[in-house]
């Protein structure tokens, strides 16, 4: 065992830059073996050894006896000893956690405090190869996000230092044999035989069969974990680079991407790009499992689904808008432009901007732009007004025979369905649509050589309008 552990430490440079190792010591076989091994090898590694015991206070007198055992052992060998009592039950109840999750969180918080006091120290835990196998199997069986790490890292970074796991290359059997060989008599935790814990069920029911099929499964699983982790990190770096090239808009609560750009990526990168988007928007509220969500988004992006909107976990929406896909923590807006009268000349504010009207001499007419229109004032039926689209609205457009439905115009111009109700329409006193800014003008009030008075209408969009994803192609980049 000694040589295997030594090789593992050297291969992964676990003790590089370390002068003190604080061993997390429960009193059980694994942690006592690690404490004794590092204490025996302290001169070879040129390190100081300390022990840290967290009393979880979950097993009454048994928990206190574990603490006394570790304290006495450290006293016998002159090993500096740190101990604390943790209120696991209270913390679990307050934060809605399971007992094991609460114990782990509190324990590592305390470990981090110990590391903060000694900047050149690290903490060592006795996770071994069988733990690695169990963890990977448990993770796979739970069906969590396949893009997340499935095993135990040989080095884990905390806020004030890092944790090493020197025993990941050996088995529980080797540890127990080592304890017998060096004369250790560790404590036994009765909770390790309780079938109410998932790990114990895997350990007692599944592991004997697996180890019988492959006694070296721990070596394979350790290699699998390290290779998978390296591959994942590399692919995730590529995905992060790719994401920058497909984002059209980004805020704290939303991201808009170009579908054509993500379609050019290979599927493995597509999955990771979607994963990065979900992780960014969810933040600390990220669901434990998002593999299903990633596949749902991929199907949405193929644009074969009858529905163009997904309701993901924790209030996250994904919805299509022609060439774009929006991810938002807010549902798609359904804004409607109300009916407002237009002062002539004058100004009026609408949902998506401001309309300004004024008269102009025919000789002073500038070149017409998409954000303005010129009307023959004598052909107009007043009052003029601004409103949203209504069913049946049509426009007698320039350059066409007959009229066209405004709803069809929106489709042809790829106006987002959620935005169509907010798009302002200029209408006259008879309700005829004279102008759909940036999209079409009616020919019924065109300027001719007989025109005497010209009414100029200018539409200045606001930020609400520019939230529309494809405004540049529609406005011609005018704003």
Spatial neighbors of 421 by CB under 8 A, at least 6 apart, are 334, 335, 336, 337, 388, 389
Asked if 430 and 385 count as a contact pair (C-beta separation under 8 A), the reply is no
Q: Which of 368, 382, 390, 336 is nearest to 437 (CA)?
A: 368
CA distance 226 to 221: 9
What angle is formed at CA 158 by the lines to CA 157 and CA 161, rounded to 5 degrees? 80
Query: Roughly how many angstroms between the first and final C-alpha of the chain, as a whole number?
Result: 71
Supply angle C-alpha 102, 159, 192, rounded to 5: 30
Residue ranges in 317-441 assigned as alpha helix (H): 406-412
Contact of 51 with 80, CB cutoff 8 Å: yes
* Cα dihedral 459→464→469→473 (10° resolution): 10
| Binding site, annotated residues | 26-31
Task: Please state the residue numbers annotated as binding site for ATP.
Answer: 26-31
Q: Which residue in this structure is represented by tokens 């290779």? A: 227
| 62 contacts 26 by C-beta, under 8 angstroms | no
């Amino acid at each position: 065992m000694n040589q295997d552990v030594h090789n593992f430490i050297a291969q992964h440079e676990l003790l590089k830059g370390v002068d003190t190792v604080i061993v997390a010591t429960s009193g059980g076989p694994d942690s006592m073996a690690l404490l004794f091994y590092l204490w025996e090898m302290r001169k070879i590694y040129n390190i100081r050894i300390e022990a840290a015991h967290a009393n979880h206070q979950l097993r009454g007198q048994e928990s206190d006896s574990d603490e006394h055992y570790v304290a006495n052992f450290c006293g016998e060998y002159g090993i500096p000893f740190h101990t604390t009592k943790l209120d696991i039950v209270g913390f679990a109840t307050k934060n809605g956690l399971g007992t094991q999750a609460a114990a782990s969180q509190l324990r590592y918080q305390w470990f981090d405090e110990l590391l903060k006091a000694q900047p050149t120290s690290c903490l060592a835990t006795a996770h071994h190869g069988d733990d690695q196998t169990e963890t990977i199997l448990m993770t796979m069986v739970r069906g969590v996000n396949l893009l997340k790490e499935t095993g135990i890292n040989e080095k884990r970074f905390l806020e004030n230092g890092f944790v090493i796991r020197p025993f990941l290359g050996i088995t529980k059997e080797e540890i127990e044999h080592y304890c017998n060989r060096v004369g250790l008599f560790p404590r036994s935790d009765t909770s390790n035989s309780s079938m109410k814990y998932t790990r114990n069920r895997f350990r007692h029911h599944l592991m004997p069969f697996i180890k019988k099929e492959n006694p070296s499964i721990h070596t394979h699983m350790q290699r699998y974990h390290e290779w998978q982790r390296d591959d994942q990190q590399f692919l995730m770096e590529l995905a992060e680079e790719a994401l920058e090239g497909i984002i059209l808009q980004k805020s704290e609560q939303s991201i808009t991407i170009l579908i054509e750009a993500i379609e050019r990526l290979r599927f493995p990168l597509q999955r990771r790009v979607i994963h990065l988007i979900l992780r960014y928007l969810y933040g600390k509220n990220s669901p434990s499992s998002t593999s299903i969500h990633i596949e749902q988004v991929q199907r949405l992006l193929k644009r074969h689904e009858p529905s163009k909107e997904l309701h993901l976990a924790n209030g996250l929406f994904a919805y299509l808008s022609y060439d774009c896909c929006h991810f938002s923590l807010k549902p798609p807006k359904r804004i409607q432009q109300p009916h407002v009268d237009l002062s002539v000349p004058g100004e009026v504010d609408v949902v998506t901007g401001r309309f300004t009207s004024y008269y102009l001499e025919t000789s002073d007419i500038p070149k017409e732009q998409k954000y303005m229109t010129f009307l023959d004032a004598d052909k107009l039926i007043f009052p003029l007004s601004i409103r949203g689209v209504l069913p049946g609205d049509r426009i007698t457009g320039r350059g066409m025979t007959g009229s066209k439905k405004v709803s069809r115009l929106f489709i042809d111009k790829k106006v987002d369905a959620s935005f169509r109700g907010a798009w302002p329409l200029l209408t006259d006193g008879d309700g005829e649509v004279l102008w759909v800014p940036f999209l079409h003008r009616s020919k019924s009030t065109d300027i001719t050589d007989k025109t005497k008075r010209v009414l100029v209408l200018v539409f200045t969009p606001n930020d609400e309008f520019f939230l529309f994803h494809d405004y540049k192609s529609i406005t011609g980049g005018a704003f």
